[in-house]
A and B are shown apart, each in its own frame.
Chain A
Amino acid sequence: MSNAVEVENVTLHFPRSKGMIQSIVNIFKSNDKGGKGSFTALDQINLTISRGEVIGVIGRNGSGKSTLLRVIAGIYQPDQGEVRTLAKISLLAGVSVGLNGNLTGRENVHLYGSILGNSEQEMDSKMGDILDFSELGEFIEQPLRTYSSGMKARLGIAIASAIEPEILLIDEVLGVGDPQFREKSKARILNLVENSGTVVIVSHSFGLMKEICNRLILVNKGKIEMIGEPEEVIKRYYNLEE
């Protein structure tokens, strides 16, 4: 089976309290060695994800789950090592990230859609489906700042889930809106998961992860603690030392 994501020896340091001069020197250097005054968020991560796999990432708060997802998405460039992925890759992190209060719902569909990497034709053809799913009715022509938070979430999910990436990265976007909509959006995201080639999902809802993931990755203190069958990895999670 061919690979969708290859993470090779990736290390990423976050600056904590470096001086300005040192920081400027570091951004021009080809590899940042970290060291004093920085915090190692990812430490020599090696990971290969095959096409068609659904992989879950679990770990305590601050263990590096989201950072790993962002390195795969290209948001952070690793200080050492290399990440290689298929070309069409989308990260969903929070449902209102790409939305803007001053634009109307319809304008937001174009804005968020283009931010997620879609073309104008794609968004035009998806407009009807997005309007249906978001249940906004004539509110779609109103500025987003007049929306309730539930309406914003509905629009966000509707746009985000209309994309068709080769690799889909999801960071805790499940569980917004009222219970009815939560069910509906969960179904829609599961549908998206099924249709996307490859999925990496960060979540704390282990029930869901067991249901949909082929493998789980346990991340602890910036290192991969374990990769394997969901059941076993979750068991290991509960046995992690404090």
Chain B
Amino acid sequence: MSDDSLLAEPNPKVSFFKGPVQFIHTFFNQWYLIKNMVKKTLKARYRRAYLGYAWTFIEPFLLSAVYYVLFTIIAGQPDPKYSLYVIVGVIVWGHFGRSLQATVNSLTNGGNLIKNVYFPREIYAITPVLANLFISLLSLSAIVPVMIYLDVTPNHTIWMVPVGLLLATILAMGVGLIMAPINAISQDVSHLFKFIVRAGFFVSPVMWTYEMMLERASGGWLDLVMLNPMVIPITLVRHGVEGTPIEFETLHLIYAVSFAVLSLLLGSAIFKRCEARVVKYL
């Protein structure tokens, strides 16, 4: 065997179907690099703040206090748990929105690094999402005092919290990965998604709940609302926190889960297929 057989392309073209496999491979083989990049992202977030990570607790905690005053005391919402629903919705939607935008911008934010060092580019997308996941988990733990105050105790349905969060993460990353290469060519995509995240806040169950919607909508209208793949993840987390069971129509459940999973498969395939060619547009 000649030595030349050791030569390989430094950044080979990845066939469309191998993209998702590459992602998993990178995730497990580049853990040291991913860990350091996550650390960098987290440190950048709270630079020059004395309280640092404490802000991930303080912010949702203060926000819940504001919601309680606003909705329960001032607006007289009869359900005392409404402020808890809202804060959970805000955290999950915030997690989704930040992860989505971070993934859409993953190539464009690579900046100097991406043009001067080569390592698998999916790391630029994996890193900010992991950092977000870490922050969102901390934020969720900040609502424990609120739960104690409102006498809410989770039970065996707590498994719905990580599942809902994971579903939101997969969805955000999937859609973001599909868009990241196009965003590298034209940053209009980034502006569009900024708008989508803002508008999506209102059509997702953040200020309202799945049950509220069920009282008003049924049949075709219900299907229309459920077209939004974020309804189920947010509702899952909410019920997991509250410790109450929830049932969705099977078709809606299949739709939301397969929407998330398929977009991640498609997204990682498109991203791997295109990343090497779009770097020259940066």
Binding site for B on A (CB under 8 A): 2-6, 12, 14-15, 20, 23-24, 26-28, 30, 32, 70, 72-77, 82-87, 89, 91, 93-94, 97-98, 100-103, 107, 110-111, 114-117, 119-120
Contacts and interface: CB of A to CB of B under 8 A. Distances in A.
A98 B118 contact: no
Interface stretch (B4-12, B151-159, B164-172, B245-253): B4-12
B112 A97 contact: yes
Contacts, number: 119
Interface centre among B7, B10, B276, B281 (most CB of A within 10 A): B10
A-B complex: 4 closest residue pairs judged by Cβ atoms:
A74-B10, A74-B11, A2-B3, A77-B276
A168 B241 CA distance: 53
A114 B39 contact: no
A26 B13 CA distance: 15
Interface in B32-90: 32-33, 35-37, 39-40, 43-44, 47
Contact of B37 (A32, A101, A111, A116): A111
B116 A91 contact: yes
Contact of A87 (B8, B112, B115, B185): B8
Contact of A116 (B3, B35, B117, B181): B117
Contact of A102 (B11, B47, B116, B118): B47
Contacts of B188: 20
Contacts of B114: 75
A146 to B, nearest CB: 11
Nearest to A29: B277
15 contacts: A12-B280, A20-B185, A27-B274, A72-B10, A73-B10, A73-B117, A75-B114, A76-B279, A91-B117, A100-B44, A103-B39, A110-B36, A114-B36, A119-B32, A120-B32
Interface centre among B9, B43, B181, B277 (most CB of A within 10 A): B277
Interface residues of B, number: 41
Contacts of B6: 86-87
Interface of B: 2-4, 6-11, 13, 32-33, 35-37, 39-40, 43-44, 47, 112-119, 181-182, 185-186, 188, 273-274, 276-281
Q: Tell me the interface secondary structure of chain A in the complex.
A: mixed
B36 A111 contact: yes
Given A87-B8, A97-B117, A116-B117, A76 B276 contact: yes
Contacts of B115: 70, 75
